[in-house]
Amino acid sequence: MHVIYKEKGKFDIIYQIPQILYSSLISGILTSLLKYLSLTENTILTLKNEKNLFLLKKKKEKVLNNINKKIILFFILSFCFLLLLCYYISCFCAVYKNTQIHLIKDFSFSFGLSLIYPLFIYLLPGIFRIPSLKKKKSEYMYNFSKILQLL
């Protein structure tokens, strides 16, 4: 707020870049937490790979119970995040009425960045994986693409 006051209301993108990066990093961490809670294909694949019918029935109850707990926790956390975010933004806009334009600009830059950086994150492993699959001896490129995929 002080920088906006010193700049007499001008939008200084150079000063805003660290805040935009911080907000993108925090939203990425929260997104990965919510993805962990909402995605259940790994637990279902453990059931699919089970060969013993007796163990399958035993595991099925545990897995379904685990999935139900994860989904309930996901909805509770998502709802709490949304409520806190709405409350924070409404309080911020009520107190700092003259900075709402800056808030919209910061939001649009952060939102645009969050749409662009996954393109590069998910495209980079594919760039190494496709040529490694065409050349059957390129095991190193394939392993490197798997390491990039984990990042």
Answer whether residue 150 is part of any domain.
no
Q: In terms of pLDDT, which residue wins out, 76 or 102? A: 76
Answer whether residue 129 is part of any domain.
no
The Cα 87–Cα 75 span in angstroms is 18
Range of the domain at 82: 2-115
Give 55-82 as a DSSP string: HHHHHHHHHHHHHHHHHHHHHHHHHHHH
At 136-148, the pLDDT tens digits run 667 788 888 888 7
Task: Give the position of tokens 């999935």.
Answer: 67
Answer whether residue 122 is part of any domain.
no
At 10-57, the pLDDT tens digits run 766 777 788 778 877 887 788 888 787 778 887 788 788 878 888 888
The Cα 33–Cα 25 span in angstroms is 13
Answer whether residue 148 is part of any domain.
no
Answer whether residue 147 is part of any domain.
no
Q: If phi over 0 gives left and psi between -120 and 50 gives alpha, with beta otherwise, what is residue 8?
A: left
Answer whether residue 133 is part of any domain.
no
Yes or no: say if 96 and 4 are a contact pair by the CB < 8 Å rule.
Answer: no
Answer whether residue 40 is part of any domain.
yes
At 90-109, the pLDDT tens digits run 888 888 887 788 788 878 88
pLDDT of residue 19: 79
CA max distance for the chain: 72
Q: For 121, what's the count of Cα atoms within 13 Å in the CB-facing half-sphere?
A: 10
For residues 115-141, give the mean pLDDT: 79
Tokens of 99: 């900075």
In this prediction, residue 83 has a pLDDT band, given cuts at 50, 70 and 90, of very high
The Cα 129–Cα 43 span in angstroms is 26
Answer whether residue 66 is part of any domain.
yes
Tokens of 48: 């699919």
Number of separate domains in the chain: 1
